């Protein structure tokens, strides 16, 4: 049997885009972040006070301004999670194994990711 090695692309750990899909990709000890996600993070930081004193300390406008960047981050992370599950399913990994890894039932994993 001959194993062919696929060229491995680096991916943003937040949105899942490859190094070919982004302008810049910054590496950390356990992952990568692209220029777009850095921009989203900066918007979150700009929208929140420097010293965080809880959501109750923020004005309505501050909270409203932080919603869209937060949603973008959640959606980016959700996209990465879905891609990882899709890859596992393409390899024939069971819903039971995926569910177990996530601490949810086989049925819950199937309902959430299929
Ligand atoms: Zn990204």
Q: Which residues of the chain have pLDDT under 70?
A: 1-7, 49-50
Q: What is the pLDDT of residue 1?
A: 54
Residues with CB under 5 Å of ion ligand 1 are 12, 14-15, 34, 37
Residue 75 Cα to ligand 1 midpoint, Å, equals 11
Q: How far apart are CA 5 and CA 84, in angstroms?
A: 19
At residue 79, the pLDDT reads: 82
Alpha helices (H) along the chain = 35-47, 60-90, 95-102, 106-113
Centre of ligand 1 from the C-alpha of residue 53, in Å: 28
- Distance separating alpha carbons of residues 97 and 114, to the nearest angstrom: 14
The C-alpha atoms of residue 69 and residue 45 are separated, in whole angstroms, by 10
| Ligand 1 centroid from CA 16, angstroms | 6
pLDDT (0 to 100) of residue 91 = 96
CA of 3 to the centre of ligand 1 (A): 31
């Amino acid at each position: 049997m001959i194993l062919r090695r696929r060229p491995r692309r680096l991916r943003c750990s937040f949105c899942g885009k490859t190094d070919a899909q982004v302008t810049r990709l910054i590496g950390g000890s356990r992952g990568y972040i692209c220029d777009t996600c850095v921009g989203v993070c900066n918007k979150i930081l700009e929208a929140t006070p420097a010293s965080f004193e809880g959501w109750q300390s923020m004005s309505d406008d501050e909270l409203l301004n932080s919603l869209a960047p937060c949603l973008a981050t959640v959606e980016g992370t959700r996209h990465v999670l879905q891609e990882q599950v899709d890859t596992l399913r393409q390899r024939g990994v069971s819903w039971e194994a995926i569910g177990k890894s996530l601490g949810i039932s086989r049925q819950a994993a199937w309902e959430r990711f299929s």
